[in-house]
Amino acid sequence: MKEAIIIRYCEIHLKGKNRGYFEKLLKENIKNSLNGFDYKFTVLHSRYLIEDFNENDYVAITEKLHKIAGIHTYSRAYVVDSDFESIFNACKVLCEGKFGSFKVETNRADKFFTPNSVETSRLIGGRLIEIYGKNIYVNIKEPSFVVNIDIREDGKTFVYTDTIHCMSGMPVGSAGRGLLLISGGIDSPVAGYMTIKRGMKLDCLHFHSFPYTGEAAKEKVIELTRRIGEYNGGINLYIVSFTHIQEAIHEKCPEEYMITMMRRFMMRIAERLSKKIGCQAVITGESLGQVASQTIESITSSNSVIESQPVLRPLICFDKNEIIDISKKIDTFETSILPYEDCCTVFLPKFPSIKPNLDRVIKSEKNLDVESLIEEAMANMEIHHL
- For position 288 contacting another protein by CB under 8 A, the verdict is no
- For position 105 contacting another protein by CB under 8 A, the verdict is no
- For position 333 contacting another protein by CB under 8 A, the verdict is no
User: What is the contact mask toward another protein in residues 250 to 279, using x (rule: CB under 8 A)?
Assistant: xx---x------------------------
Largest CA distance in the chain: 86
Cα distance between residue 1 and residue 322, in whole Å: 43
3-class DSSP state of 135: coil
183 or 274: CB nearest another protein? 183
Could you say which residues in the range 169-188 bind another protein, by CB under 8 A?
none
Q: Which stretch binds another protein (CB under 8 A): 77-85, 248-256, 287-295, 363-371?
A: 248-256
Q: How many CB atoms lie within 10 A of CB 120?
A: 23
Write out the DSSP string of 172-230: TTTT-EEEEE--SSSHHHHHHHHHHHTT-EEEEEEEE-TTTS-HHHHHHHHHHHHHHHH
- For position 37 contacting another protein by CB under 8 A, the verdict is no
- For position 16 contacting another protein by CB under 8 A, the verdict is no
Q: Which of 210, 288, 362, 366 binds another protein (CB under 8 A)?
A: 210
51 or 255: CB nearest another protein? 255
3-class DSSP state of 136: strand
Cβ-based neighbours of 163, under 8 Å, separated by 6 or more: 73, 74, 75, 148
| Nearest distance, CB of residue 346 and another protein, angstroms | 7
Cα distance between residue 129 and residue 146, in whole Å: 14
- For position 340 contacting another protein by CB under 8 A, the verdict is yes
Q: Which stretch binds another protein (CB under 8 A): 54-62, 73-81, 213-221, 367-375?
A: 213-221
- For position 327 contacting another protein by CB under 8 A, the verdict is no
- Could you tell me how many residues of this chain bind another protein (CB under 8 A)? 18
Cα distance between residue 289 and residue 254, in whole Å: 22
332 or 336: CB nearest another protein? 336
Q: Which stretch binds another protein (CB under 8 A): 91-99, 143-151, 267-275, 347-355?
A: 347-355
With left for phi above 0 and alpha for psi between -120 and 50, is residue 100 left, alpha or beta? left
Q: Alpha-carbon torsion 361, 366, 371, 374, what sign? A: negative
| Nearest distance, CB of residue 256 and another protein, angstroms | 12
* Residue 115, preceding peptide bond in cis (omega within 30° of 0): yes
**Is-contact 69 169, C-beta < 8 A?**
yes
- For position 347 contacting another protein by CB under 8 A, the verdict is yes
**Is-contact 378 273, C-beta < 8 A?**
yes
- For position 211 contacting another protein by CB under 8 A, the verdict is yes
| Nearest distance, CB of residue 227 and another protein, angstroms | 21
| Nearest distance, CB of residue 347 and another protein, angstroms | 7
Q: Which of 247, 354, 368, 384 binds another protein (CB under 8 A)?
A: 247
* Residues 23, 29, 34, 40, Cα dihedral to 10°: 20
Q: Which of 288, 346, 362, 383 binds another protein (CB under 8 A)?
A: 346
Q: Which residues form the interface with another protein (CB under 8 A)?
A: 210-215, 247, 250-251, 255, 339-341, 346-350
